Amino acid sequence: MDVVAVFEGLAEAASSIEGLRCSAFMPDSISPPVFYPVELEIDFDLSYGRGHDDFNPVVCRVLVPRSDDRSGQKLLQQYMKGAGPLSVKRALEADRTLGGACSSLHVAKVRGMGQYEHGVYDYIGADWLVRVIGRGD
């Protein structure tokens, strides 16, 4: 699998959520709410002859404003839902091939609702752990 194509596919999928700014790369500066992939683990050669690789997990982060003690948290909790118009899980799993960038994906969990530093500012955020399976190119 092509890491860039997978990250671009994830950002494109998340961009279906109205109002969520999405990037395929960790941005230097942000204007929340924002989505981007931040970490990746790759398991190579899970079948003979480079049959397939497993990106498990791809960690995708959403950061929201920390302007007061409630509004950012409430928005983030909407993104954390398993279904609905703001659900990151629903958006990422709408096309499990990410436009052909992979064979399949599954949003396994969301973790870490809390305070995150990005640049010199603090935000409220959480991480989505996504398993992506594809050909071992």
* CA atoms in the 13 A half-sphere facing the CB of 94: 18
pTM over 0.85: yes
Residue partners of 44: CB distance under 8 A and separation at least 6: 50, 53, 136
Q: Answer yes or no: is pLDDT of 37 > 80.
A: yes
For strands 104-118 and 21-22, give the pairing: unpaired
**Backbone dihedral angles phi then psi of residue 20, each to the nearest 5 degrees:** -90, 120
Query: Rounded to the nearest 5°, which phi and psi values hold at 73?
Result: -65, -40
The reported pLDDT for the residue numbered 136 is 81
Domains along the chain with CATH numbers: 3-135 (3.30.70.1700)
Determine the Cα–Cα distance for residues 5 and 31; give it in Å rounded to an integer: 24
State pLDDT tens for residues 65-99: 998 779 999 999 999 999 999 999 999 999 999 99
pLDDT digits (tens, 9 = 90+) for 96-127: 999 999 999 999 999 989 999 999 999 999 99
